Structure 1
Amino acid sequence: MDLSTFNRKIIPIRIRLLKRAGQLLGNDSDAEDIVQETMLKLWDIRDQLDSHPNVEALAMTILRNKANDLWRQRQRFAGMPQETGTESYTTEARSDMELIGLIVEHLPPLQQAVFKMKEIDGYEAEEIISIIGCSPEALRQNLSRARRKIKEEFVRLSNSRTI
């Protein structure tokens, strides 16, 4: 699908997507972001859209999945202690989280992607397998390697910080 066909077939769906995103999220800025991500995903798979029987239904499914991802991410962060006047979330805990984030950024790309999808974004194993296109065994191995590397590096760097 070329740009002009994409603009003619897909861009008119945007208004309905925005309305649905507003219903799902209730926040206009979040709704706009999710619609934009949906449009980017549709652009990425534009070569497959010509043969798809119902592009609008596909777009709505992608939108719903993006909204679910955002909800999952918010649920994960909602469980974390927030900064208050009593400082329940200490500076040390924040620096540990930053250190883990740096370690994750230095993992090999596949391990990094698998770890982020599973532990940060909250995807289920089946979802990750379908996105990445790997076997369940490969997913398990990459996740295990990523966790082990993060643990080893965290312990090593934490020990060197306290000396």
Structure 2
Amino acid sequence: MLAKEFKTRVLPLSNKLRRYARRFTENDEEARDVVQDVFLKLWQKRDMLEGVDNVEAFAMRMTRNKSYDLLRANRTFSLEEQQTGWQNENQSNLSDELDRSEAATLIKKLIADLPELQQKIMRMRDIEQLNYDEIAEQTQLQVNAIRVNLSRARKKVRDELFKYQAYGTERSQTNTAKIL
């Protein structure tokens, strides 16, 4: 898109975009800044605008997104809200870490329950990051056999993990039902 075409197709949208941005920002200066940023971005992407069917709708969406970004950036929180957020974040991080640790322990146990060949292939491929040719060289197996064994091992671990997670959910629902 040439500058002349940009001036005729995009710049006439200025007032409409400013009014639209004003709805979000509730401040005329911020709305003008948003529109200026949108025009700059549109100018930088002017070659891509050839493929856009409705430039006005595209510019409106960019204006809305830019306005939301500005509102998020300007949002303020009280000190109490921030401290509460940090406490909740720390608690959820601890909980997530415990969940990951428990899952890792369970996965290690599930892998240990696999047949020896599948354990070996899974360890070589997923932990040691060896490629199939290197595994074939060490195990004297064909690449296709390695793929099949690895697929079966992963499926077995995944299915058992899902069973465990579903069982835990069923148990907690049963316990909740008993409590109620």
Report TM bin, short chain: 0.3 to 0.5
Q: Considering Cα pairs closer than 8 Å and 6+ residues apart, tell me whether 1 or 2 has the greater RCO.
A: 1
